[in-house]
Amino acid sequence: MTNQEWLGAILGWAVSFLRGDATPADLARLERLLSDAAAREPLAWDVLRRRLRLSRTEQTTLSLLVAVELSLDISAMVAALNKDPNRPAIDVAVLQRTVYAAPDAAARFVTELSNEGALLRYRLVEVANERRPEETPFLLRQLRPTRRLIELVHGAGGIDSELKHIASLQTRPSTPSDLRLPTEIRKRAIELAKVLDRTPGSPVLVLSGPDGAGRRSLFQDVAHELGRASLLVNCARLPFEPVALGRICQTLLREALLADAIPVLHDVQILSGDPIRADRQRLVDDYLVSIMPGVIGATGPHDDSKPATFGRGLAVVDIPPPAESDRAILWRRHLGPAASEDDVSWAASRYTVTGGTIERAARTAVAEVAARGTALERADLHKGIRSTLDAKLSAVGRRISTQQTWANVVLPEDVLEEVREIIARVKHRGLVYDHWGMGKKIGKGLGVSALFSGPPGTGKTMIAGVIAGELGLDLYQVDLSQIVSKYIGETEKNLAGLFDAAEAGHAVLLFDEADSMFAKRTEVKSSNDRYANLEVNFLLQRMESFSGISILTTNLESSIDEAFKRRLAFRIAFDVPEEDERAQLWRTLLPDHVKNFHELGLSELARRFAMSGGYIKNAVLRAAFFAADANEPLGEAHLRKAAALEYAAMGKVMHSSR
């Protein structure tokens, strides 16, 4: 029997039922017919009634509603039964007189047709033509089957199209997972899931770890071991509007049950935090998590400071990044024969990234090699890592490409010594922390953090670029306006993502004008003050645990929170250069073909104009354009004019006596 033949049988029975000449034996025959057909090949109706555990009266109600929807003759019979040609829909009163007329069914009448009953809870039926169904008298509620029910009884596969862009039904891949997971982690997750699946009201199983660690892949393995599918739900795409969110959760519940799938709430931390997200979390709990039988899954970040909470509680399994030996296996697998063992070992030891990141980076590196037609270089591997880092950091910062080298640096010797110490600390931290064992003594704060303070143009950002270039790292300038959010808890999430991505990709983080974020904590006079201080505290903790390089710049050191200053490894003051340093800056910034510095009066310019390097650079550039416009070689007059204009732009007054 096909789905169409079964629907034909329902329509025939419905006609007899509404005429009043159908007997209980007719319904029993219909059920036997379904059982016999389902034993040979499962029908959509059989899957529906078994997976959703529908009672006989609920099945009968659905049969009538489907028949009315699919047959004009039957809808006319209903209109006649209602004694109103304009009311062809079945209302609750009609069902009370027909389906629930027997004494044993009458006791279930209100329960099964209320909002808590399976028909409405799973969105199999809906209240028709009412914007506020809760305000309609119960007996006058008109019911009709949802679009999804009609699709289901016709044998439609897949999941409800309403969940497009929100959820996807997944089965275990036919090939082994590319995301290598420790055997003990996989075994623990599977065994725990088996226990949770057979325990009523069991906690939500949360797999925590960084992006690309294999959390979703592991849930596919878990579902496969349980003989189930997995329904992956992207929490970032769930609606905010409460009614819409409630409907989507009901739909997710129904589709998970019909597909015999484990719901997996991906990025569940998005549901926690500020009051708006707390309301979303409550709705997801009420309409999905608290009702779904068996195991429910979720993915979240490692060490989430504000995890989502549900009435069922949480059971957390942490997935660490792959060890260096496993990273080598993954690089070798994804790079193929293009990479040498030395290159594979170098990438595995340098980048503490996850399997997903390795796969994406290797894909980029292989494409670079194919386009160039030469052998793989380590720069290709770094470019692959950089591409994944750019994707993660583009929303909160930008990569800065700097051309300056040590030849462009003019600083006092004591400042240069501190800058060299920063570089030495990074270069030799493996020796000191690992081989000499100092890392175990310190415990945390193994990264390098520095505060560069001083007036504008004194070279703070340039030195950050020189440090990154000397170490072969990328420099990312953080856009604090994109980091700080008005939503409670969102700033911490942005910061966590920023530090995690930078740590994995070995990037230098530059917080320009850091006093806007790292300012002194305020006295708590309001809830806003309290949450702002929480953000500062989180930032303190995250900087301490960050193993990379973070550089803060400020024009006003006194505004920086003292707690930050105590935790910074370096605090370097960039003062306005002295006269001899200014003269050296003029010489350094002039083009190479300019040799006769004495004729250009650079010593006099340095004496008369107390400017920092940034302003001197601007003056040299202006002078070059003055000379080009006059079609003359760059000369003293051009430099003097440009310096005077730049000095005035600084708000300085040049006295004639000088």
What is the chain's alpha carbon radius of gyration, rounded to the nearest angstrom? 35
pLDDT of 131 above 80:
no
358: CB partners within 8 A, 6+ apart: 212, 327, 330, 331, 334, 351
The fourth-level CATH superfamily of domain 406-573 is: P-loop containing nucleotide triphosphate hydrolases (3.40.50.300)
pLDDT of 250 above 90:
yes
Give bridge partners of residue 507 from the DSSP assignment.
Answer: 474
Helices then strands, each counted (H, E), the chain: 30, 15
Q: Mean pLDDT lowest for which of 246-260, 274-288, 438-452?
A: 438-452
Express each pLDDT in 196-244 by its tens digit: 999 999 999 999 987 778 888 899 999 999 999 999 999 988 998 888 9
CA distance 448 to 504: 15
Express each pLDDT in 483-493 by its tens digit: 776 555 567 66
- Contact (CB, 8 A) for 229 and 338: no
Can you give the three-state secondary structure of 43-69, one letter per residue?
CHHHHHHHHCCCCHHHHHHHHHHHHHH
The model's confidence at residue 418, banded by pLDDT at 50, 70 and 90, is very high
- Contact (CB, 8 A) for 82 and 94: yes
Q: Which CATH number fits domain 161-318: 3.20.20.60, 3.20.20.70, 1.10.3720.10, 3.40.50.300?
A: 3.40.50.300
Q: What number of residues does the chain have?
A: 658
DSSP 201-235: TPPEEEEE--TTSSHHHHHHHHHHHTT-EEEEEEG
Q: Is 137 helix (H, G, I), strand (E, B) or coil?
A: coil
- Contact (CB, 8 A) for 358 and 330: yes
Q: Mean pLDDT lowest for which of 294-303, 346-355, 427-436?
A: 427-436
Q: Is 521 helix (H, G, I), strand (E, B) or coil?
A: coil
Predicted model pTM: 0.72
The model's confidence at residue 314, banded by pLDDT at 50, 70 and 90, is very high
Residue 235 to residues 271, 289, 431, Cα–Cα distance (Å): 7, 13, 43
Q: Which CATH number fits domain 579-649: 3.20.20, 1.10.4160, 3.30.1360, 1.10.8?
A: 1.10.8
pLDDT of 174 above 50:
no
∠ Cα 340 343 348 (to 5°): 125
Sign of the dihedral through C-alpha 15, 19, 21, 24: positive
Checking 242-248 for CB contacts under 8 A at 24+ apart, the result is 242/279, 242/283, 245/280, 245/283, 245/284, 245/287, 246/283, 246/286, 246/287, 247/123, 248/162, 248/163, 248/166
Q: Mean pLDDT lowest for which of 24-38, 295-309, 356-370, 562-576?
A: 24-38
Find the largest Cα–Cα distance for the chain.
117
* Residue 15 or 370, more confident: 370
161-318 and 406-573 have identical folds: yes
Q: Enumerate the domain spans of the chain.
A: 3-153, 161-318, 324-393, 406-573, 579-649
Q: Is 629 exposed, middle or buried (0-12, 13-18, 19+ CB in 10 A)?
A: exposed
Express each pLDDT in 322-346 by its tens digit: 888 888 988 998 998 888 999 999 8
643: CB partners within 8 A, 6+ apart: 605, 608, 609, 611, 616, 619, 623
- Contact (CB, 8 A) for 164 and 248: no
* E runs forming strands in 561-648: 570-573
pLDDT of 120 above 90:
yes
CA distance 433 to 238: 45
Which residue's structure tokens are 């980029």? 364
The model's confidence at residue 526, banded by pLDDT at 50, 70 and 90, is very low
- Amino acid identity, residue 165? H
Main-chain dihedrals φ then ψ at residue 508, nearest 5 degrees = -95, 125
pLDDT of 53 above 70:
yes
Q: What percent of the chain has pLDDT over 70?
A: 84
Crossing angle of helices 324-335 and 355-372, in 10° steps, is 40
pLDDT for the residue numbered 595: 61
pLDDT for the residue numbered 527: 44
For domain 324-393, the question of CATH label 1.10.8 is answered with: yes
Q: Is 131 exposed, middle or buried (0-12, 13-18, 19+ CB in 10 A)?
A: exposed
- Contact (CB, 8 A) for 21 and 98: no
Mean pLDDT for the stretch of residues 351-358 = 83
- Contact (CB, 8 A) for 45 and 6: yes
Tokens of 73: 């003759």
Express each pLDDT in 507-517 by its tens digit: 888 988 777 66
Crossing angle of helices 341-350 and 378-393, in 10° steps, is 30
Express each pLDDT in 62-106 by its tens digit: 988 888 888 888 888 888 877 777 777 788 888 888 888 888 888
Can you give the three-state secondary structure of 401-470, one letter per residue?
CCCCCHHHCCCCHHHHHHHHHHHHHHHCHHHHHHHCCHHHHHCCCCCEEEEEECCCCCCHHHHHHHHHHH
Q: Is 560 helix (H, G, I), strand (E, B) or coil?
A: strand
Sign of the dihedral through C-alpha 75, 76, 80, 83: positive
∠ Cα 77 44 35 (to 5°): 90
CA distance 312 to 294: 11
* Residue 635 or 322, more confident: 635
